[in-house]
Amino acid sequence: MKQNHYSRKKRQLTRLIEDLRLKMSTSDQSSGTIHRIKLRIKYLLNELSGCISKYQLKRMLGGFAIVFGFASVANSQVFNAPVLNPFGLTSPPATVYLQFPEMADLDNDGDMDILAGVYDEYGFAGLSYYENIGSSEAPEFSASVINPFGITVSNPINFPALVDLDNDGDLDLLNGEYYGSMSYFENTGTASAPSFAAPTSLPFGLTATYGLAMPTFADLDNDGDMDLLVGEQYANQQYFENIGTAEAPSFDAPQTNPFGLTVGYGLSSPEFGDFDNDGDFDLMIGAYYGNFEYYMNTGSASNPVFFGPVTNPFELSPTYEFNFPTVADLDGDGDLDLMVCEGYGNFQYFENIDPTTSIDEIGVKGSILPNPFNDVLSFNFDQDVVHAEFVNLAGQVILRVENPGTNVDVSSLHQGMYIVKCRHANEQTSTSKLQKL
């Protein structure tokens, strides 16, 4: 009888969640009706908490897990209070209004560097490069170098995005610009010594966005190539699906605010990352007036559905006037940290202290060998691996392997550092940091 009692309540909870999702996605958003549904859901969650794990309840709630306070599950990240201009970074000159940062390992030495567009009162047109002369665990940034590696830009506002668009093992540059254009700088050098060719405007079938172009890349449909999301003026997001290949991109006509995204206010600077450790890309948007707007992906790695926005999740606090975020593992602990530029070009660093990582990993013993590795890795765990993700230090998923077994061919990976996230048969996770030689 007791089992039937809880099964019935699970069915009731599922129906109420679907009803809430339907009413919040349509014009039927009566606050009284939604409030009553939420109260019923809270009651059922209390009833079921003794017989269903938090992980199961989170799966049932999807994006609503945040709304109903499952912080230890849905909000699997927790960020420290921000640190102003850390790691040797300094306040920019008083003439600088804004900086638009991107983090990537530009010199292939295993740590994250910064490339930032600079906007100042003189209409300066340039990108500022901060080399990480420290390490992957203890960053230290050098003084900035303007327009490095042969880069030339002419627009007063530049939003850089670094990604390997031709799959040759080095980072290329797509630069978002004023008036919504985008310029492509192919890296004709190497992963360790980049050299960028003259720019090509709106390559690969791209079209201009409205007013501004703030690009970010991720493989949103899990087909092995990089898709593009671009924030534009008045806070719409334009999605360009890559219908080409990893070696020869070709972008489809843009879709406005797809996958459940909604229009923001003023400016919305997007950045992808797996913030809930469930194997798909979530979206963090830096909003006007300094807030973080978080969209949890309640779909899958190949079919995203974004729930939100949730304002300032994970104990994040607003930055000053503006919020231009970039994510990477800056301290080498296997999770994504946030570096944000705010008004007047200052950097704010939010360290991800992710207290649930060790909890998730309880019950999983073993390792991935060798480290460093070449073309084959051996997975040696006491729990079978259901799927494994190879993520670069910028949070981009480079390779996914389903049911990898013991020996995994990783010859397709280029040289560099990777975070390997494994989901095991017991629904727990493990994280390893490995280097490809």
User: 352 near 340, Cβ under 8 Å?
Assistant: no
Task: Tell me the average pLDDT across 360-385.
Answer: 85
CA–CA gap between residue 154 and residue 120 (Å, rounded): 14
Q: What is the pLDDT of residue 364?
A: 78
Examine the pLDDT at 84 and tell me if it is beyond 90: yes
CA 405-409-411 angle, 5° bins: 160
What is the distance of C-alpha 220 from the center of its chain?
Answer: 11
Examine the pLDDT at 358 and tell me if it is beyond 60: no
| Nearest one of 54, 55, 43 to 16, comparing CA atoms | 43
Give the residue, 220 or 314, on which the prediction is more confident. Answer: 220
CA dihedral (70, 76, 81, 85) positive or negative = negative
Q: Average pLDDT over the chain, rounded to whole?
A: 88
Token pair in block for residue 72: 């230890």
Highest mean pLDDT among 2-11, 109-118, 297-306, 349-358: 109-118
Task: Tell me the average pLDDT across 395-424.
Answer: 89
User: 259 near 240, Cβ under 8 Å?
Assistant: no
Furthest CA-CA distance within the chain: 75
CA dihedral (417, 385, 55, 13) positive or negative = positive
Examine the pLDDT at 356 and tell me if it is beyond 60: no
CA–CA gap between residue 336 and residue 315 (Å, rounded): 15
Write the CB contacts of 69 (distance below 8 Å, at least 6 apart in sequence): none
Examine the pLDDT at 330 and tell me if it is beyond 70: yes
Examine the pLDDT at 296 and tell me if it is beyond 70: yes
Q: What is the pLDDT of residue 74?
A: 45
Please list the residues that pair with 201 across neighbouring strands: 183
Please state, in angstroms and as integers, the Cα–Cα distance from residue 120 to each residue in 127, 155, 370, 390, following that order.
12, 12, 48, 38
Q: What is the pLDDT of residue 192?
A: 94
Task: Tell me the average pLDDT across 381-385.
Answer: 91
Q: What is the pLDDT of residue 122?
A: 84
> Is the whole model's pTM more than 0.75, yes or no?
yes
CA–CA gap between residue 262 and residue 255 (Å, rounded): 12
CA–CA gap between residue 342 and residue 320 (Å, rounded): 5
- 3-class SS shares of the chain: helix, strand, coil, % to 5: 15, 35, 50
Give the residue, 388 or 18, on which the prediction is more confident. Answer: 388
Give the residue, 156 or 250, on which the prediction is more confident. Answer: 250
